[in-house]
Amino acid sequence: MTAVPSGPAFSVHDIPFSTYGSWFDISPVVAEKTYAEDLHLVSHQNGMHGVLRLVPLAPGTGERAETRVEATPALLRWTGQSGGVDLAYESPDTVRLRGSGLDFGVFAAARALTPFSGTYFFHDPAAGGHVFTSYETGRRYRVTVLSGTLAEVAGAQALGSADRGVAVSADADGVWEIAIEELDTSRPPYTSSATFDAVVESAGRAFAEFVDAVAPWRSSATPAAELAAYVVWSATVRPAGLVTRPAVLMSKHWMDKVWSWDHCFNALALAPGRPELALDQFALPFDHQDETGALPDSVTHSEVLYNFVKPPIHGWAFGHLRRLLPALPDQDQLAQIYSRLERWTAFWLTARRAPGADLPHYQHGNDSGWDNATTFDPERVVVTADLSAFLVLQLHELAGLAEEVGKPDETRRWTAAAERTQAALLDQLWTGDRFVARSASTGDTWSSASLLDLIPVVLGEHLPAEISSVLADRIKAHLTPYGLATELTTSPHYLDDGYWRGPIWAPATVLVEDGLRRAGHHRLADDISARFRALCETHGFAENFDALTGTGLRDRAYTWTASSYLLLAEAHAHRGSR
């Protein structure tokens, strides 16, 4: 058997096994919060679909063998009493498997085949392999035996309900090997000159090069850096379908999309070491910007949704991105970024400002990214302080970009707009001790126990000192031993697993930490950073975390969480080296 390569070990129940560029992973997670008994090949083309069931089998009997599963970035292993099976990615669309002492079955996950759903199975006499065709993904999955023999072929050409698949066993030398490919219509018969060990070595080398690029600063003081890098690396897909660039999905579990604010945190984490990939992350939602300037809510392989938007954090994000990139984008790139940010800003100043209003509004909590935050309990069409704060930062960023692209008159226009918007924000939503939300239709105002009401701290150096100090004091009340609760834990609306009504989230942490630091509240910012980093080092990179126990919640392999850890860990490492 192949020696286990170096790299962080992880549980496939939490983090899918995959590789950079691939649209499929190997995991027991086959749907939202749904765990199968066996590992599956799970494709994310046309949605999330567990296509093939991968089953270690007892030699001679064909019964399912009890095994334990171990994973590192380059190698997945099943180990049983009588032997083991190894799996590694040869390329983004091909995995190789090798085993001894155990047989192995590759079966269609679904037994039912209808004219519109399920998996058809047949032997391809031209290519020499066995092929599964999936209605759900619109792709084919070809199994080619490289060594060993077929112990079973079930359901070839069967219609209706049937077991479908193959089982492979070893020849006299005791070793078998197969390849599984995800393909479109056809390709030449599978061949490879690479040995299985060479495949594993190549996969390990590819990950090592990535982690060395994005986390060269890592040390024993940042013990989760390599696993964070793996979460990001393995969730990256090649361009396909409606995904126009290499894209870091939020997860290769069920959150398999790019949402139009999540992508910013991945871009920032990638910027120093993988600048082209970082710029692709920043740009991808803008590739689908509509005629009004709005960004889509989300983008994935076969779907672009426009029913909601996400907050305009892109000026804030690009301001940081340009400082993290090893080289400034060229003039053509800057001009394109300026044009796209200008249109995105115009959307908020026109389509999202009521007649005579100075400040923009959200139409639903989903627009803010804080879907069900208690700020939105009284009403959903709401003028909130976080939105105006983000817009102020975006207007300032546009002013600087306008100067760089040779539009000084627009620099003055954007600067004036930023000043007007901030003045209106402080005049209309600041009460002297807190920010309030306001109904876009009635003008009624209210406050809540949500951390969202404190997000205007992101204005940092632009805030009057007395306001940033009040916000800092209120932010302290949200701190638990693990980080920033999104709802005060003393609130009657607090829920342990309440999405944005209590759990700790990475983007809120990064935005608050950054705003506090730029406003001069370094000690509090350091504390928030340290608690979040310790949380990830103990509980991983979940979508969000129980604020009172630290337990990871929802999707357990979320890239903006991993990227936020990398951002905060890198900044901490650099501060410590000064």
For the chain (length 578 residues), average pLDDT per consecutive 10?
70 98 98 96 98 96 96 98 97 98 97 96 96 98 97 96 97 93 96 95 97 97 98 98 98 98 98 98 98 98 98 98 96 97 98 97 98 98 98 98 96 98 98 97 97 98 98 98 98 98 98 98 98 98 98 97 98 87
389: tokens are 């704060």
Identify the pLDDT of residue 5. Answer: 52
Concatenate the DSSP letters of all residues of 211-263 into one string: HHHH-TT--TTSTTHHHHHHHHHHTEE-SBTTB-S-EE-S-SSS--SEETTHH
Identify the pLDDT of residue 173. Answer: 81
Distance (Å, rounded) from C-alpha 25 to C-alpha 492?
41
Distance (Å, rounded) from C-alpha 557 to C-alpha 541?
5
Cα of 374 vs its chain's centroid, Å: 25
CB-based contacts of 114: which residues, under 8 Å, 6+ apart? none
Name which of 251, 276, 280 is nearest 264 in CA terms.
280
Q: Which residues pair with 130 in a beta bridge?
A: 123, 143
511: tokens are 């935005």
Identify the pLDDT of residue 45. Answer: 98
Helices 314-324 and 385-404: crossing angle, nearest 10°?
Answer: 50
Identify the pLDDT of residue 6. Answer: 63
CB-based contacts of 575: which residues, under 8 Å, 6+ apart? none
Dihedral over alpha carbons 180, 182, 183, 188 (to 10 degrees): -20
Within 10 angstroms of residue 454's Cβ, the number of other Cβ atoms is: 24
Identify the pLDDT of residue 172. Answer: 80
287: tokens are 């590739």
Rama region for 499: left / alpha / beta (φ>0; ψ in -120 to 50; rest): left
Helix (H) or strand (E) holding 421: helix 408-429
Helices 262-270 and 275-283: crossing angle, nearest 10°?
Answer: 170
SS3 295: coil
Distance (Å, rounded) from C-alpha 191 to C-alpha 286?
40
pTM of the model: 0.97
Helix (H) or strand (E) holding 107: strand 103-108
Identify the pLDDT of residue 2. Answer: 53
pLDDT tens digits along 534-567: 999 999 999 999 999 999 999 999 999 999 999 9
